[in-house]
Chains A and B, each alone.
Chain A
């Protein structure tokens, strides 16, 4: 799993590449906690190159979204591959997380106050 962070104004875009399995998930969780501690409140997960996610990865997505929300922040997910999209649907995550077709759409959705 490779995580590449970039910033657009007050929005942090995390590009996820590879497999978010039970081994890789703690790495993303630590990254999110560090961002939150550093003051980040708006996070986009760009899933264009995320080829795999298991329940361990979903757990980190959900807890990350909850932590940011309770800190007054927001998250948006972008560009799910069909396999990852299916797992989001089966988990009901598309009902509680904001999912957008592209990273640009997701970033735009978090722009402004």
Chain B
């Protein structure tokens, strides 16, 4: 596989979260990312991978899905593909992040953060798969 591309095959277990975080860190290391960029990308991928496992596959173990990572310049793109029932996580209603503490629900916060932390997000149902494509352009490396 060409440098700048990595394909991870994941199983439907939350134990994959640290593995994804480690893979993202290693994959992005050549970009010398600042802590905010790395944190943002790890968070985004934890949220969407968790969504696939808990919502898409209903928390059932034993399903496999893929995460492809690509680097073009300082832009990192992640493509998550799974064969769970059609589900567009981006279609979720916006959360009110200004509600007072007592009224604060936590549902939808993950997707809210995903939308805020990527430059582009696109969902597509393609050939029986959910395909979610997310990109973030990293800041220039510290001088």
A residues sitting closer than 8 Å to B (CB atoms) are: 19, 21-23, 51-56, 58-59, 62-63, 65-66, 69, 81-84, 86-87, 90-92, 95-97
Name which residue of chain B comes closest to A81, CB basis.
Answer: B35
B residues sitting closer than 8 Å to A (CB atoms) are: 14-15, 17-18, 21, 35-36, 38-40, 42-43, 46-47, 50, 97-102, 104, 106, 109-110, 112-113, 116-117
B90 CB to closest chain A CB (Å) equals 15
Contact A90 B117 (CB under 8 A): yes
**Which of these, B15, B106, B110, B112, contacts A63 with CB under 8 Å?**
B106
Contact A55 B42 (CB under 8 A): no
Q: A82-B35, A86-B36, A87-B113 are in contact. Are A22 and B106 (CB under 8 A)?
A: no
> Which residues of B lie under 8 Å from residue A81 when comparing CB positions?
35
Contact B109 A83 (CB under 8 A): no
A80 CB to closest chain B CB (Å) equals 12
Secondary structure type dominating chain B contacts:
helix
Interface CB pairs A-B, < 8 A, 29 = A23-B14, A23-B17, A23-B18, A52-B39, A52-B42, A53-B43, A54-B46, A54-B110, A54-B113, A55-B43, A55-B47, A55-B109, A55-B110, A55-B113, A56-B46, A56-B50, A56-B110, A62-B104, A62-B106, A66-B101, A82-B35, A82-B36, A86-B39, A87-B39, A87-B43, A87-B113, A90-B113, A91-B112, A92-B97
